[in-house]
Each structure stands twice: as C-alpha cells, then as structure tokens.
C-alpha cells in the first residue's frame, strides 16, 4: 500500500520533500535494516542516540542497543518480516500500521522455539529530523503472537 501523507501536513504547505524526510527513512528502516538485515546505511537512517521501543516491549537507546534488540528478534525468527500496511506522515512525525510475520526458530517473547509460523499486528510512532529517525515507539499484539506460539 502506498504511503498516505496526512492532509493537514499538505494543507499547511509542507512539501513532498519534507514528507519524504521522514517517510523514506521509515521505509528504509523496515526494508533495509529489518527485512534485509542490512546495516550498510544504519548511520544514515538512524540518529546516533536513536530511542526505540520494540514491538516485544524492549526499550533501547543508541545504535548498539538497537542492533542487539534486532539481533535478538532475528535469533528468535530468522525470517522475521515487517510489512507497512499504512503510513501517515505529519511534518517530522509519522505513524504506521504494521504486520509482522515469521517462523519461530529460536527463543522469542519468552517462549522456546516451536517451529510455528506467526503473524501479528502492530503500530509504530516515529520522530525524525534531518532525514534520520530519532525515535520509534512500537506496539505489538503480543497476545496474538503468544497464542500462535503456545
């Protein structure tokens, strides 16, 4: 699904370049850093003090802590995938509706590996500045995830 810019942002005179300053880093955050596990552009996409709360409830600050969280998720599901269902952008803030999928191949959400496939929903709230993400606060439907893995 194509990203939708919030109408109030457009009517306030914010141009496409400003919307892209947050939209594109979010899309690359999921496609490159998560779905492809590629760190080549991490310093270009994330602020060095990036504040993050992941869908599993873990909070991190800085690139090293964020990488550790992502690697823990990868250890629990080597094919973990993020899909942006909807993305709304308003200035340097954005909200995304997400769908997560994967196979439970390692410890994840406090559960031993089951080999089961899973799908759960989430929502993320981002702040960006200067073409880099400064924070992301993500919620995941952990009840649905745990039901599928139990």
Per-residue model confidence as pLDDT tens digits over 27-66: 999 999 999 999 999 999 999 999 999 999 999 999 999 9
Q: Give pairs for 90-93: CB < 8 Å, separation 24+.
A: 90/5, 90/6, 90/8, 90/9, 91/9, 91/12, 91/14, 91/18, 91/22, 92/21, 92/22, 92/127, 92/128, 92/129, 93/22, 93/125, 93/126, 93/127, 93/128
Least confident of 14-23, 34-43, 80-89: 14-23
Stronger pLDDT, 146 or 2, i.e. the higher one:
146
So what's the pLDDT on residue 16?
54
DSSP label at 59?
Answer: E
Looking at the whole model, is its pTM more than 0.95?
A: no
Residues linked to residue 128 through DSSP beta bridges, in sequence order = 133
Pairing of strands 4-5, 81-90: parallel
So what's the pLDDT on residue 12?
46
So what's the pLDDT on residue 29?
97
So what's the pLDDT on residue 21?
76
How big is the chain, counted in residues? 150
pLDDT at 4 over 80: no
Residues linked to residue 135 through DSSP beta bridges, in sequence order = 51, 127
In angstroms, rounded to a whole number, what is the distance separating the alpha carbons of residues 133 and 64? 15
pLDDT at 132 over 90: yes
- What one-character-per-residue DSSP string does 72-133 give? HHHHH-TT-EEEEEEEEEETTEEEEEEEEEEE--S-BTTB-----EEEEEEEEEEEEETTEE
pLDDT at 10 over 80: no
The arrangement of secondary structure in 4-149, i.e. its CATH architecture, is Roll (3.10)
């Amino acid at each position: 699904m194509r990203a939708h810019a919030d109408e109030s942002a457009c009517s306030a005179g914010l141009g496409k370049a400003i919307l892209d300053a947050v939209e594109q880093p979010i899309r690359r955050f999921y496609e490159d850093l998560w779905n492809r596990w590629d760190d080549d552009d991490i310093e270009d996409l994330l602020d060095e003090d990036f504040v993050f709360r992941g869908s599993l409830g873990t909070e991190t600050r800085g690139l090293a802590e964020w990488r550790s969280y992502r690697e823990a998720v990868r250890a629990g599901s080597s094919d973990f995938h993020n899909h942006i269902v909807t993305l709304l952008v308003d200035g340097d803030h954005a909200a995304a509706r997400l769908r997560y999928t994967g196979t439970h191949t390692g410890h994840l959400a406090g559960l031993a590996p089951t080999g089961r496939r899973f799908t759960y929903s989430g929502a993320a709230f981002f702040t960006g500045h200067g073409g880099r993400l400064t924070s992301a606060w993500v919620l995941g439907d952990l009840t649905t995830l745990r039901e599928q893995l139990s």
